[in-house]
Structure 1
Amino acid sequence: MKRSMGLILAVALAGCTASVGSYSSAGLEPIPGSITYNGQPRTKLTKSPVGSSFPHNFTDQWGREVEEIYIIRPDRTLLIAERHYRPVFSLDDD
């Protein structure tokens, strides 16, 4: 069992390191509220280093809190790398 878990972990880590620095992916499709929903921003992010990332939080049309993580590509366009939906309510009312 330990041997198979080690193999799974090694394969997962290899997959993570293989994608570092790759900007060839199209990323996620923009949704209303995304910075890139109506196309790329007109102003280029010239002071931010290529490959850097930043978050953007907004509320979608259904009232859900959304966080997107953007990566700056070498041509200074933005790639939506991740999208997370936060729950509207919590079942844990502590």
Structure 2
Amino acid sequence: MRRSMGFGLIFAVALTGCTTGSGNYSSTGLAPIPGSITYNGQPRTKLTKSPAGSSFPHSFTDQWGREVEEIYIIRPDRSLLIAERHYRPIFSLDDD
């Protein structure tokens, strides 16, 4: 009995370490690359009309000619966090 209680306690502690809150934007996000809005630091103008926690996309071509789409999240201090980055394929096998 004691053994199963000890295992249950260890499992519960390990499980709580794995969970994250959906409203926690304290991570640093992805590192900016040339073309990112935050590449040379945070933008000087603050996004005052957009609510904190909202997101928006930004598309650009990187230095190697690839199409990149980044998703930004507005933090409570009005700075931007790069939450996602997707590289679009240069060509498609479906093209005729």
Common fold: TM-score over 0.5: yes
State the alpha-carbon separation in 1 of the partners of residues 21 and 91 from structure 2: 34
Q: Secondary structure at the match of 1:23?
A: coil
Aligned pair partner of 1:73 in 59, 75, 90: 75
Whichever residue aligns with residue 92 of structure 1, its letter is: D
Name the % identity: 84
TM, length-normalised to structure 1: 0.80
User: What is the aligned partner in structure 2 of residue 23 from structure 1?
Assistant: 25
TM, length-normalised to structure 2: 0.78
Whichever residue aligns with residue 27 of structure 2, its letter is: S
Which portions of structure 1, spanning 4 or more consecutive aligned residues, are displaced by more than 4 angstroms? none
**Residue 49 (str. 1) matches residue 51 (str. 2):** yes
User: What is the aligned partner in structure 1 of residue 34 from structure 2?
Assistant: 32
Gaps of 5+ in 1: 1-10
Aligned-CA RMSD value: 1.6
